[in-house]
Structure 1
Amino acid sequence: MQWFRHTLKDQTPYYVFLAVLFLVGVVFGALMVNALSLEQLQDLSRYLKDFFVTVNQNKQGFADSQASSTFWDSVSLHLKWVGLIWVCGLSVIGLPGILVLNFLKGVLIGFSVGYMVGQYSWKGLLFSLVSVAPHNLLVIPVLLVCSVAAMTFSIHMIKTKILANRPSEGMLRPLLSYAGLTAVMMVLLIGSASFETWVTPVMMQWVTPMLTASVTS
C-alpha cells in the first residue's frame, strides 16, 4: 500500500500534464468545427441524417444485426491505440508520440461533441452524452494510465541505460510490470467495447427520434 501511494505521488505530475494536454485537445477539436467549409458541413449533415433515420427505423434490429462487427471493430481500435502507446513507451524517442496520441484523442472527442452541439444545440449535447460519453468514461482513464506507465518506463530507460549507463538486465522487472499493467488495461478496454456495442445503441435509440425530427423538418 505504501509502495502504491509512493508511486502515485511520483506519477501525479504526469497525470496532471496528460490530463491538461487531453483537455487542450478537446478544446482544439471543438474549435476545429468552425474551420469546416460549407461543403464539409453539408456532407457531415447528410451522413448524420441517414444515420439517425437508420437507427430510428430499425430500432433493436440495428444493434443486433451489426453487434458482432461493431464489437470487434471497437476492440481493434482500442487495442491498436493502447498498442501504439505501449510501443512508444519502449523507446526514448517515443515520448513525443505518447503526447501526440493523447492530444489527438482529445481532438477527436472535442470535434465530435462540438459538431453535434453546434448543429443540434441541446439535442446534440444529449446525443453526445449517450453516444460518446458513457464508454469514454472508462476509455479515457485507461488511456491515461497506459500513457503514464509508458512515460514512466521510457524515462526510467533514459535514467538507467543512457544517463547511468547501467546494464540492460535491470530493465527486465520494470518491463514485465509495464507489460502486465498494459495487458490489464486492454482487458478493461474490451469491457468498454462491450458496453459500446450492446448498451450505447439502445441509449442512442432513446434520443434519435428527436434528432430525426430535427433533420427532416
Structure 2
Amino acid sequence: MPTATTIPTPMTAAPAPTPAPAPTPTTAPMTLRAALDRYFAASGFDESSYVDDWVDIPLGPIPVRFPNTADRKRTVPSHDLHHALTGYDATFMGELQIAAWEIGGGMGRHWTGWFLNLTAMSWGAVVRPRTAFRAFVRGRRSHNLYQRPLAPEQMSEDVETVRAERGIKASPAQATGRDYAAYVAYAAVAQVAGAVMLALTPAMIGLGVWGRIKERTRAR
C-alpha cells in the first residue's frame, strides 16, 4: 500500500518521491459456468429440472404441471445456457424473447423445445411483436447450442469469448426481407401451437392440482 507523502519542514529532510499509484483492479472475466450460476440464482431454477419427472409452473395461484419428457430433459441444459449467453431473464418477457431467439437460430431435433417455444412465440407475436421480432433476428445471426453443441471444457471459458465465437451480439443487425418473411411464417405456425397448448391447459392444471395435493399429503 502506498505510504502517505511527508510534508517537508525545517526540521525534516525532503520527502522521498511519491510512489506511483497502484493499478486499478479490473473485473475478472466471468466464465460461462459463473454466468449460468448467476442465472439460476436470479431465476430460482436449478439443475434439478434436468432430471425431475414433472415440470411445475405456478401461474399465480394456479398450479400447472406437465411431464418432463426425455426430449425436454435433453433440451433444457442448452436452453438455460442460452439464457446466460443472451442475457434474457426468466421473466415472462424474457421467456418470450428466448423462445423467439431459439426459433430464429433453429432447434434441430429438439421437438419438445420447438413446441414450447412456438407456444411462447404465439404470445410474443401478440403481446410484444417488435420485441419478439428483434430477438428472432438476433437468433438468426447467432449459432446456438442446438445447432453447435457446447464442449464440456467450454464451461470454464470467458462468457464473452463464447458469445463472440457464436455471433451472439448485444443487438441484432438490420432486418432483411427474408427475416420478415421467416418471422411471419413461424408466427403463423406458432398460433397453431398456441391453440394446442390452450386445449391442453385444463389437463395441465388438473395435473398441477393433483401434484399439489400429493405434496401436502406427504408433508403431513
- Regarding TM over 0.5, the answer is no
**Structure number with higher relative contact order (C-alpha < 8 Å, ≥ 6 residues apart):** 1
Q: Going by fraction, where is helix more abundant, 1 or 2? A: 1
Taking structure 1 as the reference length, what is the TM-score of the superposition? 0.29
Considering fraction of residues, name the structure with more strand. Answer: 2
Q: Flag the structure with larger Rg.
A: 2
TM-score by length of 2: 0.29
